[in-house]
Structure formats: C-alpha cells, structure tokens
Structure 1
Amino acid sequence: MNDIFGSVIAIVAILSTIALPIGLGVYFALRTANHKHKERMEMINQGLMPPSDDKEIPNRLKTLKNAVLLIGVGVGVGIGILIVKILNLREDEGFWVIAPIVLLFLGISHLIYFFMSKNHNENEVD
C-alpha cells in the first residue's frame, strides 16, 4: 500500500513540475491569441483598420554590441583560466585572477564596440 501511495505522489510531483507549467503556458497562449483575433474582428466590423502585425527590423548595432561583449567575456575567461593553470593556483585564488581579467576584456570589448559603432554611424550620415 505504501509503495502505491509513494508512486502516486511521485507521479503527481512530476506532473506538477513539468506538465502544469507547460499546460498553463499553452492555455494562456491560446487564450491571448483568441482574444487578439476577436479584437481584430471587432475592429474590422466597425470599419477600422487593425494595426499590422509586422515585426520590427532588428537593430544590427545591438546585435553587434552583444556579439563583441560576449567575445570579450569569453576571451577574458579563457585567458584567466589559462593563467590560473599556468600559475597552478587553487580555485579560491583563481577567482581573484579570472574576475579582473574578465572585467578588463569586457572593458576592451566596450571600447572596440564604441569605435565600430562610431564608424558605422559616420558611414550612415554620409
């Protein structure tokens, strides 16, 4: 009896943590889509033109900034780990080497992005 009860509790726990959030997400997504559709149909019935669902053009400079910053963080972590391995430091000492190097390369990548975007903006003006 205890084995069956324990199995039921395990199944309910798994369903609660996985199926419930997914089910609620699907329910609210369908409900929102249905509400949008009804709203658009009402606007059309009243003779109004509903706003278009065209997606905005992504900002290429924002993508460039994210790419340059992530490259800077990756290079900083890589070089920091390499220095920790070369100097044969412990983990708690390694943090104090890796963190400043990551911040240094993050700053360098910000400068690189600044000069890249400056050149990009100058080209757009001309």
Structure 2
Amino acid sequence: MTFLITLILILIVWGAWFLFNRYRLKQVANVIDADQFNEVKRRAQIIDVRERRDFNAGHILGARSIPYSTFRQFYGEIRPDLPVILYDQGQTVSARAAMFLHKKGYRKIFVLKSGYRNWNGKTKKRDA
C-alpha cells in the first residue's frame, strides 16, 4: 500500500512539474508547428541547440548550430532584434534555451513544437 501511495505522489509531482514548465515556456516563447515555422522562418534566425554531431547528421535547412552545452558562451551570436526559432530533438532543451534568452532580453522567441524528430521539411547534412 505504501508503494502505491508513493508511486501516485511521484506521478502527481511529475505532472505538476511538467505543467509548470509548459506554463513557463508559454510565458517566454511561442510554441509553433511546422506551418507556423514556414511563416516565420524567412525573417528569423533558426538555431539548432542539439550537439554538433547531431547537427552534422542532419538539420533544418538554414539552421545554425549553437549546442545547448555551449549556449551560455555563444548566445551573443544571436541577434536580439530578429526573431529566433529554437529547436532540438523534441522540445525540452530548446525550452531551456528559450528561457535563458528571455532572461537576457530577447523577446521574439519561437520553439518548434515537434522538434527535429518529427520534421518533414527540407534538411541538410554536413560531411564529416
């Protein structure tokens, strides 16, 4: 019985944490789907926050690589006056990057809802 109660409490805390993080993301960025991405991309900076090897294996056409592991050192390469579209494999890491950019004064931030994992648009691969 104690195990069941503990499991239920863990699930409740995890669910609350998940909802809290979704709320925080909505406060700092617009979560966009592929159609909205195509509307915004022409005037935006597309930033891939996955690690370099993942970027080289395939990335959205026109994206720049700024891995999250080095994001705090290189975020200054992103212009604050232009919209920024962030993506990773899903949405978790790009959400963290969006919150960081918002703290640094960036206001036109977008996060690709499905990430690269479900991307069906044009891609590019880098030769190793």
Does the TM-score normalized on the shorter chain lie above 0.5?
no
Greater share of residues in helix: 1
Structure number, greater radius of gyration:
1
Greater share of residues in strand: 2
